[in-house]
Amino acid sequence: MLRELLEKNRSIRSFDPTAKITNEELLDMIDCTRLCPSSANLQALKFCPVTEGDKVEKVFSATKWAGYLRDTKIPPEGCEPPAYIIVMNDTDIAKNTTPFFKDTGIVSHTILLRACEMGYGGCMIGSFDKDIIKEALSLPDNLEITLVLAIGKAKEEPVITECTGDIKYYRENGTHFVPKRSLRDIVVK
């Protein structure tokens, strides 16, 4: 079951504009992170769910998508994400944010797996303008953004392919292909 969920849980960059997602559903995903491992059990990460239209638009304006596909409009016009979860390190709990990028990866994947299980899809966005987001959401100074998670109902079904040299994802006839290295290529003997 976990294997199937992992296979289904691709990065989604086109969202169904007719399907909304509620704040309560985002809170369900955030709640799952409380069960995650945490460096020194500090649980320094905080989460800001974003579903309000004007805030969603501002966050979107601060994000960059699909760096390998600069000539394609991604997400397509009208298929932008309807919601976000902003992952942040609380520097009042952990002064140095760097170790908490590891925690960020763990909780972010947990959130996206839960989203997938709930029938949604999402994308981790590491390429963002933190100042625009901080201002748009009136975030206090002690919260340092570590990752942005876009979430909504998927309007695409990316396909995993075998990696034959180039790891760059690509699109063919509207389908997004994601090359994955083989087991043989990632195991060191």
- Residue ranges in contact with ligand FMN by CB under 6 A: 10-11, 13, 64-66, 123-127, 158, 169, 178
Nearer Cβ to ligand FMN (23/112): 112
Residues 15/80, Cβ–Cβ less than 8 Å: yes
Which residue bears the tokens 């409009």? 73
Q: How distant is the alpha carbon of residue 165 from its chain centre?
A: 26
Among candidates 127, 100, 117, which has minimal Cα distance to 151? Answer: 117
Residues 123/158, Cβ–Cβ less than 8 Å: no
Nearer Cβ to ligand FMN (84/169): 169
Nearer Cβ to ligand FMN (55/171): 171
Min dist CB 24 to ligand FMN, Å, is 26
Min dist CB 164 to ligand FMN, Å, is 16
Residue type, 108: S
Min dist CB 89 to ligand FMN, Å, is 14
Residues 43/92, Cβ–Cβ less than 8 Å: no
Min dist CB 169 to ligand FMN, Å, is 5
